[in-house]
Amino acid sequence: MKKYTFNEITYYQFVFLIMGTQIGAGFLALPRVLAERAGTDGWMGVVIGWLLSVAASIFLVKTAEKYPNKTVTDILTHLFGRVPGKLATFIYMLYNIWFTWIILINAMLYIKGWFLPNTPDYLIMFLFSIPTFLIVRNGLRIIGRYSELVFYLTIWVPVLFLVLLKDGSFLHLFPLFKVEWSKMAASGLPAIYSFLGFELAFFFYPFLQKKEHAVRGIVIANTLTMLFYLVVTLACFIFISPDEITGYNQPVLNLLKVIEFRFFERVDMIILNILLLIASTTWIPYFYCGVYCSSQLMNKADHHSHVPIFLGLFIAGTLIIHPTWEEFETWQHWMANAGIVFAYLFPAFLWMYSWGYEKYKRRKAL
Amino acid sequence: MVTNGERGEFSIFFFRFLKYKRYSSYQKTQPSDHQVQQDSRKDRPISSQLSVNIEELHRLFHQAPDLVIRNFNLANSKVKAALVYLDGLSDKNSISNNVLRSLMQISFDPEKELPTTVGDVKVAHTWNFVENSLFEGASALFIDGETKVFLLDTKGWAERAIEDPQLETSLKGAHQGFVETGSQNVAMLRRYIPNRELVIKEITVGVRGKSKVYIAYLADVASQEVLQELEDRIRQIQMDTIINTGELAEFIEDNPFSPFPQFILTERPDAAASQILQGRFTVIVDRSPAVLIAPATLMSFIQSVDDYSTRWIAASFIRLLRLFAFMITLFLPATYVAVISFNYEVIPLQLFLSIAESRSMVPFPPILEALLMEVTIEMMREAGVRLPAPMGQTVGIVGGIVVGQAAVQAGVVSNIMVIIVAATAIASFIIPSYDMGTAVRLLRFPMIMLAALFGITGIMISFMTILGHIISLESLGTPYSSPLAPFRFSDMKDSFIRFPLWKMVIRPKSVRTIQANRQGNSRKQR
């Protein structure tokens, strides 16, 4: 019955997997987006986003709890029947693969823009696919270890922002609540996008060893993400003046440019490469889930053979399309809307549906 | 604890059972059991006529000038007998004093007991057993009219004295290393762990030349699953003969395509004993002075026995130093190349100017310069290893002058490159395990190339690749990257920092021991 035991992940790996999936390259632009909506009160948007995502996460885990040994694809097949289940799996696969593609493109554009302007984009994509291939091929347990390790390796990054605070002006933040509530709520919207990633808990849940701690784990993951965003946003708001901040595309990078050591200039160059590490913990879980869905569609137990195929498609896609920042923005926009459906609306719907379904079934059995 | 005890008892029972099985299979080689005779078609019984047997011996050992057949008459009778042994594999002293003398002087009944005074006497009825025993240094006593052969333990071949192991010198550890005789090595382990739970399992490997392989472990500590896995893999080996433990390791390792060693090979009995106490397995291969320790983790390759005999603060410092050296070996040359050829904006102007000045004479791009120097230093290292000590000095002098000075003055390489390469070389020698040092030195080359092609991004990608590879590696089915990923806090006590020994009350979890606790609290409260 328990078909996922050989690939179990620990509680901490579950937390760091979700947290790693949530924090991607998006945080570089987050302070600007928030400031555009609500000025320096934008940081409250992060808190609003956190509240919403915690609520959605709890719905999600509660739904998954009813079917402890089933991933979302199995649950959908169970609830809606075989053909709609397959269809839903297909949609999930598209969503995950598309998300992977977007994150890879984003990382590629950053690296190409900052480091390798003359290197062809498909070559950079190929570079990314080497570690991705190695890690995703080995299943969720290895991905869990990777996310965990990357978390410990990058734990110093938020501290770097705290160091900056001593030169900033806290007055930028005051007075609090200077914008209307509607605007503040509007700033929650971009924050919600930044919390996307916890929806993959649907896939991770059956692999979790101690399922009774799942709710706590997902809340902790969301909270850690929130704290990180909060530190970054506040550091930007405090350090950069409120009028200036909307003028920068990625205010976080501008912030990092300021840091300089006697023996080492341009800390931002290193951070951008560390970003690759951070972004990889986003694209790798998404990619795994996408490949997982595709192998489920083909009724195959292992996903090994699908990994190189999709990576090849990504490289070929880059070679053909040569994505630009504009295209990326459009795709991300679609993605964000899809994310709202998959991460926030769908779990709540599924929870209610399964509640009704089980009740109906029980009554029928009686 | 109760379950542990129960398990322990069970395992004792289990091993008694195994021993019994082994013993019974030995018994089966005797022809009293008719079934076995049918099974082994080649295994012929021994004739009762001595002359037939001698002929058979000549046929079996054709072209073997070292086979000695000593014909003689038993004391006080006209019964002919022959003592057969392989010259050089057996102890002549023992043969003449303890065997021949008593056989010729004391009269006895061959049906009962032999008057010889050697430690071990076995009885064989078939040729295979005689043949194998002769190769192991036993002498065979053929008596006319008997269908059995007495095999007398007269082992004694030229042996090396126990010395300090060359590859792993230690300042404060024991100054003895394993030798080439398997039984001697087992004895050395027994000296360290005089406990009946130290179980030695014997497996014979090799089709042509049978070599004995011993798995030593603590029966009430080590995991049965891991043992089963190890044993299965060793039994799988089909080969002429195993010459060296390294060969065995290559046959049984989890990922043969990985640059990283997945087992620890050591020549130190104290290191092996300490690993056994942690719940690991030691595989001793007869005729090889290195023993294999499994399962290994990445961290165990930066540990050394000296760590436990030095004070824990100093030992922790040295651990961190080794880790730093590990990173330097992997990243320093690559980072230099990346910074010089790609991302020169990350270093301050002053430093960049001095590098530029040093490089102004050099006609090559940084990648070529780096590869040239790294290959040179690898060649010097290899030459130094293979050359005998008196000639080895020449390598040092030539290398020092040519690489150190002349190359810079001629403008072939820059000063800074020499510094980088030298620092890397020294750092790579700090890693205690030779295998791991080689692995890291090898990985440096693709890293340099990636750095030259893609700058810091290339380094980052190679770092991610190495990370991804290490976390997916396994040693005998246990995670290789263990205390780090999966993160195990209690195992961290013996990784980056060597905690005080009385703080390490739990055996490493990554080994999956069945008895978790070491013996408990060792320090008096004060």
- The structure tokens 């784990």 sit at A217
Q: What is the mean pLDDT of each run of 10 residues along chain A (366 residues)?
A: 65 93 87 84 87 91 86 84 89 92 92 89 93 92 92 89 79 77 78 88 88 91 93 88 84 82 76 88 94 88 85 93 90 87 87 86 77
Pair B188, B316 in one domain: no
pLDDT for the residue B43: 75
pLDDT for the residue B31: 40
Q: State the burial class of residue A73 (Cβ atoms within 10 Å of its Cβ: 0-12, 13-18, 19+).
A: buried
ipTM, interface predicted TM-score of the complex: 0.92
Of B345, B454, B464, the CB nearest to A266: B345
Pair B195, B224 in one domain: yes
Q: Chain B closest CA to A263's CA: distance in Å?
A: 6
Tokens representing A311 are 């990576």
* Number of inter-chain CB pairs under 8 A, A vs B: 93
Pair B434, B321 in one domain: yes
| Cα distance between residue A133 and residue A303, in whole Å | 11
| Minimal-distance CA residue of chain B relative to A262 | B348
| Cα distance between residue A146 and residue A316, in whole Å | 27
Pair B195, B335 in one domain: no
A13 and B455: CB-CB below 8 Å?
Answer: no
Domain A5-351: state its class.
mainly alpha
Pair B325, B421 in one domain: yes
B468 and A145: CB-CB below 8 Å?
Answer: no
The β-bridge relationship of strands B478-479 and B149-152 is unpaired
pLDDT of B3 above 50: no
Residues of A with CB under 8 A from a CB of B: 10, 12-13, 111, 115-116, 119, 124, 127-128, 130-131, 134-135, 137-138, 142, 144-146, 148-150, 152, 262-266, 269-270, 273-274, 276-277, 280
What's the pTM? 0.87
Q: Report residue B40's pLDDT band, with 50, 70 and 90 as the boundaries.
A: very low
Pair B330, B248 in one domain: no
Question: What is the signed CA dihedral for B72, B74, B77, B80, rounded to 10 degrees?
Answer: -50
pLDDT in tens, B281-313: 999 999 999 999 989 999 999 898 888 989 999
Residue B275 within any structural domain of the chain: yes
| Cα distance between residue A304 and residue B389, in whole Å | 51
**How many CB atoms within 10 Å of residue A263?**
8
| Cα distance between residue A166 and residue A179, in whole Å | 26
Q: Report residue B264's pLDDT band, with 50, 70 and 90 as the boundaries.
A: very high
Closest to A232 measured CA to CA, from A273, A285, A191, A199: A191
| Cα distance between residue B420 and residue A306, in whole Å | 42
pLDDT of B427 above 90: yes
Closest to A194 measured CA to CA, from A324, A15, A30, A7: A30
Q: Report residue B449's pLDDT band, with 50, 70 and 90 as the boundaries.
A: very high
B454 and A273: CB-CB below 8 Å?
Answer: no
Q: A270 contacts in B (CB within 8 Å)?
A: 346, 456
Yes or no: say if B60 and B108 are a contact pair by the CB < 8 Å rule.
no
Pair B216, B351 in one domain: no
Residue B38 within any structural domain of the chain: yes
Pair B196, B272 in one domain: yes
Q: B338 contacts in A (CB within 8 Å)?
A: none
**How many CB atoms within 10 Å of residue A88?**
19
| Residue B208: partners with Cβ closer than 8 Å, 6 or more residues away | B240, B241
Pair B364, B446 in one domain: yes
Helix (H) or strand (E) holding B141: strand B139-143
| Cα distance between residue B414 and residue B418, in whole Å | 7
Of B348, B464, B471, the CB nearest to A145: B471
Domain extent for B348 = 312-479
Pair B339, B472 in one domain: yes
| Cα distance between residue B209 and residue A245, in whole Å | 77
Q: Report residue B450's pLDDT band, with 50, 70 and 90 as the boundaries.
A: very high
Structural domain tally of chain B? 3
Give the 3-state secondary structure of residue B96: helix
pLDDT for the residue B42: 62
pLDDT (average), residues B246-250: 92
Pair B333, B287 in one domain: no
Residues of B with CB under 8 A from a CB of A: 342-343, 345-348, 351, 454-461, 464-465, 467-469, 471-472, 479, 481, 484-487
Q: Chain A closest CA to B481's CA: distance in Å?
A: 9
Pair B43, B92 in one domain: yes
pLDDT in tens, B345-372: 888 888 888 888 888 888 889 999 999 9
**How many CB atoms within 10 Å of residue A212?**
9
- Range picked from B29-43, B127-141, B387-401 for highest mean pLDDT: B127-141
pLDDT for the residue B16: 45
Residue B375 within any structural domain of the chain: yes
A115 and B456: CB-CB below 8 Å?
Answer: yes
Residue B497 within any structural domain of the chain: no
Q: B348 contacts in A (CB within 8 Å)?
A: 262-265
Rg (alpha carbons) of chain A, rounded to whole number = 21
